[in-house]
């Protein structure tokens, strides 16, 4: 009986502690998401606008591909060129990229065929060609579904000060066209956004590969491809490598729009699982804290702790769920993110997906990227190194 009583007390107070931490984090992160653009904008002191090489890795032809890539050429910036790279130079996506380049003869462009095969991540292999052959030292890498506003390059550049090695942008999901895409938007604009904005408001950052602005010279001093070739989480590995030479990673005061279009629920699950497995390997503390950012664990904690505040478990759980949903909905309105009539159902489905992803991430190292499976375990072979920069790793082709 004493043991049962002790277990009951532990569940009561453990649930209460978990609930308090989760709700406090929800409130603080919501406030941080609102104020971060102002805070980080005030810290953006760089006024230099050096020439930039914009790198566009290409693999699949995603929704809104043309719009996302055309956004580069709308930049109000004095001097930049653009390089696209792909493994298959004859793919439909590359042909579309060539057509886009041909519509902008005012900008110097190149299409490079990537032939490097030494990294754990296929994205790193694809980046060797443009990183090594870029005309300019300052490089902006943009994913294929990221859409830039006309002043984004100039605004991101404001963050690249002397002590900053990497500037990343916080992505938000836009233009979801089916239920699965709405779920992904809810993940990106909910727990993920709140945590990233909180880190950014505190003046900190870590690698998020949707947009990355850096100097190639800093990248090479930090170890170059040898520092990022051992993991499929190359963005965070790059941030860690730069930190080892005393350069910070920061989030820009400008977010980046990620077009979602149509998704399948399995694609959403696999993508979230990949990121979660990578966090488990590269950022264990962040991975362990993920349940505190999710509503369902807080709801369970509220039900366990309900007797401490003279509530039924159902009432405590319901109040927690309603408060969480209401605050996130208010935040979406404040940020101008889309809120649909299906939002309550999407919110519940999102929470189920996120909890399932986190639990599964404990038991697997297999992840899916661009419809191919990879082992996400970090393995560094003795004496392994990245490809040398003077190696003939790409075929240069004028776009």
For residue 387, what is the DSSP state?
Answer: P
Per-residue pLDDT at 397: 36
- Determine, yes or no, domain membership for 178: yes
Do 295 and 351 meet the contact criterion of CB atoms below 8 Å apart?
yes
Asked, for residue 365, whether it belongs to a domain, the answer is yes
Residue 205 maps to a domain: yes
- Number of domains observed in the structure of the chain: 1
In a domain? residue 202: yes
Please report whether residue 394 resides in a domain: no
- Structure confidence at residue 382 (pLDDT): 36
| Assigned domain for 393 exists | no
CA contacts within 13 A on the Cβ side of 43: 24
Tell me the pLDDT tens digit for each residue of 317-361.
Answer: 999 999 999 999 999 999 999 888 899 999 999 999 999 999 999
Q: Name the stretches of the chain with pLDDT < 50.
A: 381-399
Buried b (16+ CB within 10 A) or exposed e, 162-174: eebbbbbbbbbbb
Q: State the pTM of this model.
A: 0.89
Is 69 within a domain?
no
Contact in structure between 213 and 156 (CB atoms under 8 Å): yes
Domain that holds residue 316: 10-47+158-378
pLDDT one-digit tens code per residue, 104-154: 999 999 999 888 888 888 889 999 999 999 999 999 999 988 999 999 999
What pLDDT score was predicted for residue 384? 39
**Cα distance between residue 109 and residue 397, in whole Å:** 9
The pLDDT, as a whole number, for residue 398 is: 36
359, part of any domain: yes
């Amino acid at each position: 009986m004493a043991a049962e009583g002790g277990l009951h007390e532990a569940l009561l107070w453990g649930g209460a502690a978990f609930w308090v931490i989760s709700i406090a984090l929800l409130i603080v992160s919501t406030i941080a998401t609102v104020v971060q653009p102002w805070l980080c904008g005030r810290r953006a002191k760089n006024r230099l606008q050096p020439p930039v090489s914009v790198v566009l890795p290409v693999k699949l032809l995603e929704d809104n591909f043309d719009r996302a890539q055309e956004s580069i050429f709308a930049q109000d910036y004095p001097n930049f060129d653009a390089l696209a790279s792909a493994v298959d130079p004859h793919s439909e996506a590359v042909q579309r990229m060539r057509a886009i380049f041909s519509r902008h003869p005012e900008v110097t462009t190149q299409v490079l065929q990537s032939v490097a095969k030494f990294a754990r991540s296929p994205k790193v292999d694809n980046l060797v060609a443009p990183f090594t052959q870029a005309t300019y030292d300052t490089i902006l890498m943009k994913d294929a579904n990221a859409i830039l506003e006309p002043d984004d390059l100039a605004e991101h550049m404001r963050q690249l000060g002397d002590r900053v090695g990497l500037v990343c942008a916080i992505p938000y999901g836009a233009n979801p066209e089916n239920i699965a895409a709405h779920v992904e938007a809810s993940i990106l604009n909910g727990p993920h956004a709140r945590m990233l904005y909180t880190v950014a408001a505190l003046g900190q950052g870590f690698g998020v590969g949707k947009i990355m602005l850096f100097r190639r010279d800093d990248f090479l001093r930090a170890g170059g491809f040898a520092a990022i070739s051992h993991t499929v989480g190359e963005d965070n590995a790059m941030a860690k490598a730069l930190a080892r030479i005393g350069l910070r990673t920061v989030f820009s005061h400008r977010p980046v729009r990620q077009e979602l279009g149509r998704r399948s629920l399995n694609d959403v699950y696999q993508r979230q699982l990949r990121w979660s497995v990578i966090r488990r390997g590269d950022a264990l503390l962040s991975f362990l804290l993920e349940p505190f950012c999710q509503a369902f664990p807080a709801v369970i904690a509220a039900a366990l702790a309900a007797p401490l505040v003279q509530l039924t478990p159902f009432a405590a759980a319901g109040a927690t769920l309603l408060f969480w949903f209401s605050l996130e909905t208010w935040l979406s309105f404040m940020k101008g993110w889309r809120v649909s009539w299906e939002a309550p159902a999407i919110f519940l489905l999102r929470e189920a997906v996120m909890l399932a992803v986190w639990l599964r991430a404990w038991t697997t190292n297999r992840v899916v990227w661009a419809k191919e499976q990879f082992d996400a375990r970090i393995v560094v072979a003795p004496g392994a190194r990245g490809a040398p920069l003077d190696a003939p790793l790409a075929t240069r082709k004028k776009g």
